[in-house]
Structure 1
Amino acid sequence: MKNSHSESYAAAGVDVTAGYEAVKRIKPMVESTYIPGVMGTLGGFGGMFAPDMAGMKKPVLVSGTDGVGTKLKLAFLMDRHDTVGIDCVAMCVNDIVCGGAAPLFFLDYIACGKNDPGRIADIVSGITEGCRQAGCALVGGETAEMPGFYPVDEYDLAGFSVGMVDEEKIIDGKRLSQGDVLIGLPSTGVHSNGFSLVRKVFDVEHCDLKSPLDELGGKSLGDTLLTPTRIYVKAIQAVLKAGVDIKAVSHITGGGFYENVPRMMTEGLTARIELGSFPRLPIFDLIQKQGGIPERDMYNTFNMGLGMIFAVPASEAARAIDALKAAGETAYQVGSVVSGDAGVELV
């Protein structure tokens, strides 16, 4: 690449040498995520991974893809780009773990108006941190410089992950039964959903994002909203390693409780969730008050303090919570599975 430079392309707004500088900066971060199975290194045309399938009767690949959405607008306004990569990884691997799979590797896609190597390095630092939290490898990605399509100081971020699970250990909700217990794992905040509403409520382009607020425990609105999405891979794995029978899992993303919880239920069964069984984070009270948002709309848009819910037999609920506590995780018994076709009931 020493001889790669195009004056004509640079005049059109694309500096290929900036891309090479970005790769140079991110390479050590990418390699810090490598786990057994990674083949080659950054710079090839395709990321290679050789999975260890020892002990599996019928390995099944589970994939997930997602982006960060308009939460990126907050990153632009705050000029802080080192956390949104965690969101990107989280939105993919949290979906994968719902099926019982362990994520193996991740690839990112960054599209920008101008390739700023320092900013790209900040973004990738978050991606690599997310990969380390999820226990997967960042095996490749793409940075696309698109002048005239994106403003020079903006970008979009998306990703893709692949995991693996033995077919007989897939979590699909088919064995759910009345009386199963629902366990909730707390969120860190708004995560990466509902930001179109959040941005409208606070008029973020014109409000004070950086001053401390008493309602948020002294944190600023901007810092609170940029808090990265929690990654639940290791928490679910801790429960599975303890031998607990997880029957169904729901990642509480866009659409909140009313859209996501029914996705883990089977016909004739409903998740009854007790609203007082877990702490509701202050940011949601502030959003509701500022926007005059009805209670049901809040639970149909946001996670409200629970980022993941899973179902276990009642006889194994205490063991599941103990396994999570031993792993340094907080968990709440938030309800149960009952007869009915509502999908979810909040009581």
Structure 2
Amino acid sequence: AIEGKTVEELNQPLEELGGESLADAVLRPTTIYAGGLLAALRAGAPIKAMAHITGGGITENLNRALPAHLDAEVDRGGEAGPAWSIPPVISYVSNAANLSLDEQYRTFNMGVGMALIVDMDDVDDVAEALSEQGFEPFVMGQIIPGTGKVVYNDAN
């Protein structure tokens, strides 16, 4: 998608990216989570663990927040897709590179920059605290008995 392209080509608006250029899409500054998360924690948000989803994607980052006897089951939503929005640039690059869904989740953050682990009973309170800090929280799965890894549920 990028290799071999000229600067002019990288700066051309792309329909697949909603009219944004590939250069603008890949160079967009990252979200900084520290201030909002600290404020939510100081307000008493009962967060058990956090995982910053960077290189290695969800697959190789979320597992770092898990004990050895639990798995994170991430709901990819089947044909309907996940509960969150995958940025168009990730879909564009994934299609251009012919990446499988598993490769995408092992490579990109898929639009999830920070994952939090909370008790199901606390989801609404934590979501409210995060919303007050300007975040748009969503439930991406559940914690289940396992071996400390990320597994995917692809059902609708």
Identity over aligned residues, as a percent? 33
The one-letter amino acid of 2:2's match is F
Give the equivalent residue in structure 2 for 1:326: 132
TM-score of the aligned structures, taking structure 2 as reference length: 0.88
Cα deviation per residue 1:231-250 (whole Å; 9 max; x = unaligned)?
11122113212212211110
Give TM-score scaled by structure 1 length.
Answer: 0.41
User: Which of these residues, 110, 113, 116, is aligned with residue 307 of structure 1?
Assistant: 113
Give yes or no for contact 1:242–1:320 (8 Å, CA) kept in 2.
Answer: no
Task: Point out where structure 1 has 5 or more consecutive residues left out of the alignment.
Answer: 1-200
| 1:250-329 matched pairs, under 5 angstroms | 250-275=51-76, 276-329=82-135
Aligned Cα RMSD in Å?
A: 1.5
The higher-RCO structure (CA 8 Å, 6+ apart) is 2
CA distance in 2 between partners of 1:241 and 1:286 (Å): 39
**Secondary structure of the structure 2 residue equivalent to 1:278:** coil
Distance (Å, rounded) in 1 between the aligned partners of 2:141 and 2:40? 18
Aligned to 2:79: none
Q: Which residue of the partner structure matches residue 244 of structure 1? A: 45
- Aligned twin of 1:38: none
Report the Cα offset of residue 204 of structure 1: 5.2
Gaps of 5+ in 2: 77-81
* 204 and 242 in structure 1: CA distance in 2 versus 1, 3 angstrom threshold: farther
Q: How do 1:115-194 residues align onto structure 2 when only pairs under 5 Å count?
A: none
8 Å contact 1:245–1:312 — kept in the other structure? yes
User: Is residue 228 from structure 1 mapped to residue 23 from structure 2 by the alignment?
Assistant: no
Match of 2:146 among 340, 343, 346: 340
Distance, in Å, in 1 between the alignment partners of 2:52 and 2:4 is: 27
The C-alpha deviation readout for 1:161-200, integer Å capped at 9, x for no partner, is xxxxxxxxxxxxxxxxxxxxxxxxxxxxxxxxxxxxxxxx
Residue 301 to residue 341, structure 1, CA distance change in 2 (3 Å): same
Amino acid of the structure 2 residue aligned with 1:244: A
Paired with 2:88 and 2:102, the residues of 1 have a C-alpha distance of 17
SS in 2 for 1:299: helix
Greater strand fraction, Structure 1 or Structure 2? 1
Q: Aligned pair in 2 of structure 1 residues 313, 215: CA closer, same or farther (>3 Å)?
A: same
Query: Which aligned runs of 4 or more in structure 1 are off by greater than 6 angstroms?
Result: none
Paired residues in the alignment total 147
Residues 313 and 333 of structure 1, relative CA distance in 2, 3 Å threshold: same
What is the CA-CA distance between 1:205 and the residue it aligns to? 4.7
Q: Is the 8 A contact 1:202 1:290 kept in 2?
A: no
Q: Distance in 1 between matches of 2:112 and 2:5?
A: 28
Kept in 1, the 8 Å contact 2:2–2:10? The answer is: no
